[in-house]
Structure 1
């Protein structure tokens, strides 16, 4: 076992690397939010706007749109998921010396590679739904209510014993011996995180992947549930808040529809 001083040095290196990655990701995400805000979305039946992230702009191509979305997703994920990863790093700080700094970076490569692939898989689904919204007015009218239902369902799932079990099973994933095993361990953690916070990712996609307030709320919910994994009451409180928010979105959508008719 490494003495205390080297362990602290390794943890300091990891903390600096994570802080720099978070700062860079947050900065790039903020700049993208500003550029997307300058581009007005497409007004849709039902009183909402379809983000320009899903469909080609005038003169654009599907390939360019997909590349833009994946680039945006890749730059956003470190800022969103590092707060979820940080508690695991903190709990395992005494064992970090079992990995060199480079192997911990390979952990991160495997972890964020999964999230990058998730963005690549999500884009065709989101683009297909956006195309349906453009072509079928009845689907576009129902979109705000559907978003509220997704937010409400995420809150219900948050209060289940299944979700509590997933949060409790966040444990050591950093013990590795070479680059290949470090990448595999990072991939395994990312898959675990994806299943654990899938309800919040669904909320992000349903409410607008480039919505600044929605992204901040989802990021906060993910960070809170990881930090408070041992405090079931706080985790459930987040779920209750999500159910209430979903109900408000549904009521707001119904009232807007009634006023327009």
Structure 2
């Protein structure tokens, strides 16, 4: 990881290295919030042996997201990073986000189905991570906490609206005063 966290100018390294890091990162970020769904699935099927396949297929969906990110990723400047963060904040208010978030909290038939719903729910936050610094442990931690909270708590305007507004505000701050955002190592 030495040299990997270069803010919005981070380079991803080789494909194999990136995928290995991405899978580890997704497991650390996404599995804590997936625990209730894994337990619901094990209870609904009555088979504890189904858990590894459910978890593996859930992580496979997130791995495919990383495989898609790799060829599309380009290091960004502060304006583009801020625009992506603003878009992520706006996505928090959309009916599509609410649909995926609700479905990500319901019982599902498979890890793939659960993964697809959770990707839809968390895609704005993941794009935010990619734009800010894909290899930044502090940003990973912040995004992981947000994902966990959104998976475990039901949607409530009293929480979701300020969160969406805070994300939009962060994006605006990055656009107008990027040096005021701690830990962002921006190229202008």
Shorter chain as denominator, the TM-score bin is 0.7 to 0.9
Q: What's the CA shift string for 1:144-193, capped at 9, x where partnerless?
A: 1111111111111102233223222231125xxxxxxxxxx111111111
Do 1:164 and 1:232's aligned partners in 2 also have CA atoms closer than 8 Å? Answer: no
Q: Give the match for residue 154 of structure 2.
A: 229
1:244 is aligned to 2:179: no
Distance in 2, matches of 1:77 and 1:41, equals 17
Distance in 1, matches of 2:31 and 2:4, equals 30
SS in 2 for 1:197: helix
Distance in 2, matches of 1:239 and 1:41, equals 25
1:114 is aligned to 2:48: no
SS in 1 for 2:154: coil
1:167 is aligned to 2:75: no
Q: Which runs of 5+ in 2 are unaligned?
A: 181-188
Q: Give the alignment partner of residue 140 of structure 2, picking from 191, 198, 215.
A: 215
Q: Give the match for residue 145 of structure 1.
A: 79
- Deviation, 1:210, is 0.3
Q: Give the match for residue 82 of structure 1.
A: 31
Q: Give the match for residue 9 of structure 2.
A: 50
Q: What's the CA shift string for 1:29-51, capped at 9, x where partnerless?
A: xxxxxxx2x33777xxxxx6622
TM-score for both structures, normalised by structure 1: 0.62
1:69 is aligned to 2:69: no
Q: Give the match for residue 192 of structure 1.
A: 117
Q: What aligned pairs does 1:3-42 form with structure 2 within 5 A after superposition? A: 36=1, 38-39=2-3
Q: Give the match for residue 4 of structure 1.
A: none
Do 2:98 and 2:121's aligned partners in 1 also have CA atoms closer than 8 Å? Answer: no
SS in 1 for 2:108: coil
| Relative contact order higher in (CA < 8 Å, ≥ 6 apart) | 2
Q: Give the match for residue 179 of structure 1.
A: none
Do 2:5 and 2:135's aligned partners in 1 also have CA atoms closer than 8 Å? Answer: no
Q: Give the match for residue 136 of structure 1.
A: none
Q: What aligned pairs does 1:171-186 form with structure 2 within 5 A after superposition? A: 171-173=106-108, 185-186=110-111
Q: What's the CA shift string for 1:211-257, capped at 9, x where partnerless?
A: 111111111111111222242321222111111111111111399xx
Do 1:229 and 1:235's aligned partners in 2 also have CA atoms closer than 8 Å? Answer: no
Q: Which runs of 5+ in 1 are unaligned?
A: 1-35, 43-47, 56-64, 131-139, 175-184, 256-261
